[in-house]
Structure formats: C-alpha cells, structure tokens
Amino acid sequence: MYDIIVIGAGPAGASAALFAAKAGKKTLVIDSDQSITKRAWVENHYGVLEITGPELVEIGKKQAAKFGAELVQGKAGQITKGTEGFSVATEAGSYEGKHIILATGLMTDLAEQTGLKTKPGTEPRIKTVFDVTSEGKTSVEGIWAAGTAAGVSVHTIITAGDGAKVAINIISELNGERYVDHDMMKQS
C-alpha cells in the first residue's frame, strides 16, 4: 500500500512525487510517457536558463527517484475505491494507494469512470479539467489533481509548483500537521 500514487510524471507529477518521497511517504509514479512537456523548449522556468522538455521531464523523474519514489511505465486504466484507499489498474498490474494525484496534463479520461467532476478549461486548447478545490481535492475524497489537468496554466514552472502544493497538502493531511520542507546550506 502506497501513501501516494501519482499518475503522470510531467512537471506537476514529478514535483508532487519529489515532495512526497522526500517527506518519507511511500510514493509511486505511474507514467504513460505522454507528457506534453516532451515536445517543449523551455526558457521561462525559473532557475533554468534553457532546457528541452524531455530533459526537464527526465531530471524531474530522477529527482523523485533520488528520494525513493518508485516509477513504473504504464497507463492508468481504472481507479477503484477500496476499503483503505484506491486501486489503480494498468496493463502491467494493479497498485494500491491511500491517496491519488492525477497529474495527467491534457488527459481527463479517468474522470468519467471514476466519478470525478470536471469543468471547462480556461487555458487555450485545454477543453476539460478536473474540478478541484484550491488545495487540489477532486469531488472524490482521497483523489487529488495537479497541474494542467487541475486547470492551472500549462507553463512548466506553474504546473511544477502546483504539483508541489498538492503533495504538501496531502503530506500535511497524512501527518496531522502542516508540512514544510526547507533544506539549509551546510555551514563550513
């Protein structure tokens, strides 16, 4: 049983997984390798002069893995509610988790079969997004959404920040107190 299963490893998903794993939560990322960031050239991501989308996605996955997030290749086909959380089915198998973060970019196809409310997107060319609270909660308790799929701007810096925000909200809920992650430079 994972604490958090993240569906999607673009900037929102990988950022969420990074924060979750670094906080010591058992974290799984299921990635279908269809991130729209894979087609991007990025010059407006704070702290990065310029980078290709594929490089940004790979670095994000490596950062999450560095802190113990497990990554599996596959497409989430179905999410079902269980007694203590959810089961996420892929072609390769099924995974159990207490919380789910949907960081699926342009794809909201899991909404209908999972009973999640959606709403029209406001970004250009984004037709439908998950209907979420400011914390990232969907209409189903325990399922959250982050990034473009949650209606925020498609810019990588914004979706990455949204993924981190949603993960921090889940970590705080799991811990029973507000979670903060601040590293300090080592003093010499």
Quote the pLDDT of residue 72.
96
Give every CB contact of residue 17 below 8 A, 6+ residues apart in sequence. 4, 6, 9, 27, 29, 64, 69, 163, 167
Give every CB contact of residue 159 below 8 A, 6+ residues apart in sequence. 10, 11, 12, 15, 103, 146, 147, 148, 152, 153
Quote the pLDDT of residue 146.
98
Tokens of 11: 């900037």
pTM assigned to the model: 0.95
Domain borders along the chain are: 2-175
Q: What is the CA 187 to chain-centroid distance, rounded?
A: 33
Question: 52-104 pLDDT, tens per residue?
Answer: 999 999 999 999 999 999 999 999 989 999 989 999 999 989 999 999 999 99
**Among 153, 37, 35, which Cα is nearest to 161's?**
153
Quote the pLDDT of residue 54.
94
Quote the pLDDT of residue 111.
86
Q: Which stretches in the chain have pLDDT values below 70?
A: none
CATH architecture of the domain with residue range 2-175: 3-Layer(bba) Sandwich (3.50)
∠ Cα 114 115 119 (to 5°): 115
Quote the pLDDT of residue 125.
87
